Amino acid sequence: MLKDSAQYLTYWPQVVRAFAGAAFAEATADSIAGCGGVALWLPPGVGSDEDAMGALVQEAVPADEHDEVFGVLGQMDEFHSTEPH
């Protein structure tokens, strides 16, 4: 999705914030050994900022790749559990 390193460095922190930034507010973010591994868990009832994520993808991904990227994201959403997990 973010193929260019400058694009990655610009957008990835924003994508993480939109996707799982609520884990920090919920105190459900954890890391080990100097951030050698990180877990961002969103508890039931707390979700990603999907509007922000959509806007970021639209801005960061070239227009000719939108169909493919949004298609993959749509497929991921289809298979995401609708029950608390």
For 31-46, give one letter per residue: b (16+ CB within 10 A) or e: eeeeeeeeebebeeee
Of 46, 44, 45, 58, nearest to 14 by C-alpha is 58
pLDDT for res 73: 87
**Full DSSP string of 50-75:** HHHHHHHHHHHS-GGGHHHHHHHHHH
pLDDT in tens, 3-41: 889 999 999 999 999 999 999 999 999 999 888 899 999
For tokens 């997990």, the residue is 85
CB 19 within 8 A of CB 54: no
